[in-house]
């Protein structure tokens, strides 16, 4: 299809979808239960004799291997999410240890892999497929482009993805790779809460920021000057402003403005130039028009796979096998599109 000009990589639309795993929610167990079941399985195998002999059940051996893999996945889960959930509350499936609970498109949660599909916009053909354990799409666009490059030897000129993929980290990486990125709204950063005790009339929003001088001015007329730019978050600059030494010490409004601190301190957040340029670009009508095309291109293969061949639940277990099934499904989709775009056209020309 590339040789026939059907795949151009001028514009690629990317989207992710949840497909249910071949695992029941009831198969998820806590670490202590997994260890108990593994010990029982090992004891069962020991009573049956040498595991290399034919008398030992292959089913029992596979069950033990899955339990060992489940404990390994539990360790990975605990290392990746050290503070999100108490260790004793985390669970892993005994039948498909690599499955993760994810929110479903129709609502609710179910064990699922996250299927990522990149689609060339020229003729709506799939150019990249990957499967991940991540429950959300944040950070999944760079690996998806790596998959496209492995398949076709080069990166697309432009990639379009929704707000779930649009982070400052992704914006910076797309710029570094030389790929024109069209995405959703950049995720809003958490605003720093004002220090308790500061009167509303003395909060940063109420103080006058003078852009030309890059200073704040308090109600008494004193200036808060820039004191540095600490690096706190990727893609964001936090400018620090403080008054001259001693300005706050004898101020009559110190109790309302400083809230017990020795001097007032203000943080002003600002996107780095690359992110600011992306935000400005996405406000243009041209970028908005391209973004509106995303749904019809990126979501169509997902709908086709689920409606035409019933890919609403994988039939195999484990990420490697799941990815293989996803590849076969996407190849079937591409072949059907080739039949529509080329084979039927050639057949009609031959019969005319």
What is residue 343's predicted lDDT score, i.e. its pLDDT?
Answer: 86
Average pLDDT over every residue of 249-254: 82
In whole angstroms, what separates CA 99 from the centre of its chain? 17
What is residue 114's predicted lDDT score, i.e. its pLDDT?
Answer: 94
Average pLDDT over every residue of 290-318: 93
Reported as a pLDDT band with limits 50, 70 and 90, residue 66 is: low
pLDDT digits (tens, 9 = 90+) for 184-222: 988 655 555 666 778 888 888 788 788 888 888 888 888
The strand order across the sheet containing 114-120 reads: 125-132, 114-120, 12-18, 158-160, 180-182
Counting residues of the chain whose pLDDT is more than 70, the rounded percentage is: 80
List the single range of 9-18, 42-51, 52-61, 115-124 with lowest mean pLDDT. 52-61
Domains of the chain in start order, with CATH, are: 12-20+101-187+278-351 (3.30.420), 27-98 (no CATH), 200-271 (no CATH)
Residue 84 pLDDT > 60: no
More confident residue, 173 or 35: 173
Residue 59 pLDDT > 80: no
DSSP labels, 263-289: S--EEEEEE-HHHHHHHHHHTSHHHHH
Reported as a pLDDT band with limits 50, 70 and 90, residue 327 is: very high
Reported as a pLDDT band with limits 50, 70 and 90, residue 27 is: confident
What is residue 47's predicted lDDT score, i.e. its pLDDT?
Answer: 63
Residue 141 pLDDT > 80: yes
What is residue 304's predicted lDDT score, i.e. its pLDDT?
Answer: 94
What is residue 55's predicted lDDT score, i.e. its pLDDT?
Answer: 47
Residue 223 pLDDT > 90: no
pLDDT digits (tens, 9 = 90+) for 93-139: 777 888 888 888 778 888 899 999 999 999 999 999 999 988 889 99
In whole angstroms, what separates CA 236 from the centre of its chain? 19
Residue 313 pLDDT > 50: yes
What is residue 191's predicted lDDT score, i.e. its pLDDT?
Answer: 55
CA dist 247 and 216 (Å) reads 14
Residue 45 pLDDT > 50: yes
Reported as a pLDDT band with limits 50, 70 and 90, residue 49 is: low
CA dist 186 and 167 (Å) reads 6
What lies within 8 Å, CB to CB, of 210 at 6+ separation is: 216, 217
Reported as a pLDDT band with limits 50, 70 and 90, residue 234 is: confident
What is residue 165's predicted lDDT score, i.e. its pLDDT?
Answer: 94
DSSP 8-state code for residue 190? P
Q: What angle do CA 55, 58, 64 make, to 5 degrees?
A: 115
Contact predicate 159/174, CB 8 Å: yes
More confident residue, 52 or 121: 121
What is residue 88's predicted lDDT score, i.e. its pLDDT?
Answer: 46
């Amino acid at each position: 299809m590339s040789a026939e000009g059907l795949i151009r990589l001028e514009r690629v639309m990317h989207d992710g979808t949840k497909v249910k795993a071949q695992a029941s929610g009831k198969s998820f167990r806590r670490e202590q239960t997994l260890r108990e079941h593994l010990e029982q399985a090992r004891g069962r195998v020991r009573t049956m004799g040498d595991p290399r002999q034919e008398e030992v059940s292959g089913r029992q051996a596979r069950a033990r291997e899955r339990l060992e893999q489940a404990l390994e996945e539990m360790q990975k889960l605990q290392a990746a999410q050290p503070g999100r959930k108490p260790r004793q509350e985390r669970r892993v499936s005994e039948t498909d240890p690599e499955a993760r609970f994810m929110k479903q498109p129709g609502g609710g949660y179910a064990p699922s892999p996250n299927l990522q599909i990149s689609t060339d916009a020229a003729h709506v053909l799939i150019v990249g497929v990957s499967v991940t354990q991540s429950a959300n799409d944040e950070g999944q666009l760079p690996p998806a482009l790596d998959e496209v490059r492995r398949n076709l030897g080069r990166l697309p000129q432009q990639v379009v993805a929704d707000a779930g993929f649009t982070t400052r980290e992704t914006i910076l990486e797309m710029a570094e790779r030389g790929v024109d990125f069209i995405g959703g709204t950049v995720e809003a950063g958490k605003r720093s809460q004002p220090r308790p005790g500061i009167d509303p009339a003395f909060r940063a929003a109420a103080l006058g920021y003078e852009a030309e001088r890059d200073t704040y001015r308090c109600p008494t007329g004193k200036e808060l000057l820039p004191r540095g730019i600490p690096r706190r978050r990727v893609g964001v600059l936090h400018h620090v402003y403080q008054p001259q030494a001693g300005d706050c010490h004898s101020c009559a409004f110190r109790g309302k403005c400083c809230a017990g601190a020795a001097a007032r301190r203000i943080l002003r957040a600002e996107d780095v130039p690359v992110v600011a340029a992306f935000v400005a670009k996405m406000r243009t009508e041209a970028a908005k028009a391209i973004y509106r095309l995303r749904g019809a291109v990126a979501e169509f293969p997902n709908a086709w796979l689920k409606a035409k061949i019933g890919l609403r639940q994988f039939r195999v277990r484990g990420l490697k096998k799941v990815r293989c099934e996803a590849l076969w499904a996407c190849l079937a989709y591409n072949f059907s599109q080739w039949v529509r775009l080329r084979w039927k056209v050639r057949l009609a020309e031959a019969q005319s």
